[in-house]
Structure 1
Amino acid sequence: MTMLKAPATDTTLVRKNVVELTAQEKSDFVHAIKTLKTLPGTNSKNVSLYDELVAIHSGAMTFDKMQLGGLVILPQDTPSTGPATGADAAHEHGGFLPWHREYLSRFEKALQSVNPKVTVPYWDWADPRSVDVIFDANFLGTNGTGSTLIIEFPDGGATIRLDGGPVVSGNFSEANGWTIVPDLHSNIGTAETLGTTLIRYLASPNAPAGFGFPLDKAETDRIVQSPDYATFRRFVEGEITINADGTQTECLNIPCNHNLVHSLVGGSVPNPNPNETNRRILSFGTISNTPASPNDPVFWLLHANADRLWAEWQKNGRKGSEFYAVPGTERYGHNLNDKMWPWDGGDSIPGSIGSTDIRPYLPVVSPDDIVRPIDTLDWRSYGYTYDTLVKRVP
C-alpha cells in the first residue's frame, strides 16, 4: 500500500479534543491503529504499514546528527546523502509544521482505510482533563511500571525521580499485541534498542508547576498570538517561550510546549555527567527518544495539537504563503518551495541510526509523490478541520 498524498475532498471531518471523544470513537481509533499494525507494508523488511510510518519519522532525523537543539549527537555509522543532508527533515526548522501536517494526514488516511469515520483527536496539553482520558488502560494505555530512576546532580544539585518503565497492561502493552520493531526503537543518544515493549515514564500528577501536566494555559494561548511564522514555529515546537511581559526565553535543558510533552511522557532529564558532551539530555522512554516516538500512539495526538494551533494561527488572517518562513532563511527542505523528504522524488537518502539502516523499513514512495511546504498551508484541502474552528469554517 503506497501512501500517496490524499486529494482535496468536499467531505470535511472534524478532529476533536480527546476529552470529547465518545466511547465508540475511542474504540474505533484504537482498533484502526492496531489494525495498521497487522497490515503488510511495502518494504523489504516485511514489517507492518504502521512500522513503515515509524520508519519515515526515524529516517527524517538521520539527515542531521545534531539533535534536540544540539544537545544530543545522534550516533550514525552511515551518513545521509543528497540535498536534504545537514538539516533534520522534520524538526527544528521551518518545515516542522508542514512536514508533520503531511505526515499526520497520511496516518489519518491510513486509519480511514480501516474505518472512514476515524479522525486523529488532539491532546490539548493545557487541559487538566486530558491525562486521565489519554492514559486509560482502555484507551491509549497506562504509564509504564517496574522502574524507578534516580538522577542525582553533582555539587548539591537537584535529585530527579522518574517512575515508569515498560507498559505491561492496556491496549498498547505487548501482552495485548503491541510489539515494537527493535530496529525502529532506538535510544537517541546511544542508538541501543529499547526493545519490543512500549516504555513510558509519565510525569507524576504531583510534579511541581512547569514539570508536569497540564501545561500552562496562558502560555499556550500566547502561542497563537505569535507575530510571525518563525516565532510561532519555535514557540509551538518548544525552542522558546514568550513570557507574559513579551520577553522571549530560550528553552534549553528544560524544553517547552511540544518538546516538553515528549519529555513528560517519555522521561527526559538533563545529563548530570558533564563529561558526556555528546548527550546533554538523557531520554528513557519511547516517545522521548524522538526517532522512535511514533511507536507510542500518543505521538499522533500531540502532533494533532501542534497542527491545530498552527491552523488557529493561520485562521487569524495568516493563511497565505506570505505567512511562512522568510525566503532564503531556511535549510534545504524547509523553504516554501523545497521538496520535503521522503516526498522528494528520491533526491535524498537517509542515513543510519547507529548501525541500523533505516532504508529497508521505509515504504515505497512514488517518484511522482512530491510535497513542498507550500502544498500544506491550507489544512482544509486535506479534508479535515478542528472542533475549535468548526463554527468559523466557511
Structure 2
Amino acid sequence: MLYFDHCASTPPHDEVIRTLAEVMKAHYANPSSIHRAGTDADKLVERSRQLLAGAFGTKPEEWLFTSGGTESNNLALKGAARANRSRGNHIITTSVEHASVYDACRQLEEEGFRVTYLPVNATGHVEPEELRRALSDDTILVSVMHVNNEVGSVQPIEAIGNVLKDRPKTLFHVDAVQSIGKLPIRIREWGIDLLSGSAHKLRGPKGTGFLYVREDVRIQPLQSGGSQEHGMRAGTQNVPGIVASAKAFRMAMETAGKRYAAMASLRSRLLEHIRSIPELKLNGSLPEEAGSYPMAPHIVHVSYPGMKPEVIVHMLEEEGIVVSTKSACSSKEDRPSRVLLAMGADRKHASGGIRISFGDEHTERDIDRLADGLRTVVKRLKPLERS
C-alpha cells in the first residue's frame, strides 16, 4: 500500500515509537508531583520544551504543549482575542484557513468580535496589500496559515509580518502545522507572536501539539483546573507523547533541507505526469509559470470536475494507493471545498478535488506508480463524463 496522505497524518518513525514506549514504561509519574519520580518526569517535559525553543531561537517558557494543532489554534485565537478585547474587537484571517481557525473565528463572531476573511487569488495566496487595507485601529489579531493544508499554497508570512511590525497592538498568529520541519520558519524575524504545531504531521505521535506564545503576550486559558503549562493549559501533561514529539521534531529539523529538496523533486515529477492527464486540473501554481507563487514541496491537489472525489479515492485504494479529498477534519462533509471556492473555482470543480501529500520515504518509482493509478482511474471514469 502506497500512503499519500501525509497532510492528514504521517507514519511515525520507529525511533519515535520506541521512545514513546520507553517513556511510558519508565516515567509514568505525574510531572506535577513533588516526589522524585514526578520531578524526573517533569525534567523530560522541560528538556523537550528547551529543544523546541533552541530550534527556533526562542525561550523555553514561550512554548506550551497541547493535545494537537486544533487545540493550539483554538487556544491561540480564542485565548488572545478574549484576553485583549479591551484593546479592540477586530480579527483578520483568510478565507482558506483550516477549520480549527475558520470555525474558531466564527465562534468569536458569535461573541461579538468582528472578523474579516481575506480573499485569496486563483492559486490560494493572500496578497499582503489586502491585509494592509483590512487593518483598522481596533484590529487586535491577525491569523494566517503558513502552508494551506488542502492545496499547499505557501503564504507570504514574512511580508505579512512586515505589514504588522509597526502595530504592537495587533498580534500575529501563524498556523504552521503543515510547514514545521518542511519549510524555514523565522519566528523572531517575521514578527510572529503565536505559532501552532502538531506532532503527528512530523512523523510523531497523535494527541500532542505545541503552541508558541511570545513572552509578553496575554492569552486567556480555555480550560481551568491546574497550573500546568505556565498556567495557560491546565491538565496533566502527556509526558510520553511530549518526549516522543520532541524526538520527531528534532529528526525533522535536522533533515529539513535534504527532505525539502527530495520532496520538491517528487512534486515536479508528479506534475509532469499530471500534464499528460488532461482530465485532471491542477489547483495551485506551477513552478515555471511567470510570477508563480510558492507551493509546499509535499502537496499536489488536483480536481476531476464532475466526478465525486470519494469515488476517485476508493478506486485508487483498489490500486493500492491512499490519497484523500480535503482536510481530514472536513473530508466526510458532502459539499464543495471551501478552499477551492475561495480560489475562484466553480462548484463542479470545487466538488471534485483530491489531495496527494507525500513524505521523505517516497521514491520516484512510487510517484510513477501513483501516476499509473491516476491514469487507470481516469480511464475507467472517462465514459461517465458523457452519461
Structure 2 length-normalised TM: 0.26
Structure 1 length-normalised TM: 0.26
More helix by share: 2
Q: Which has the higher contact order (CA 8 A, sep 6+)?
A: 1
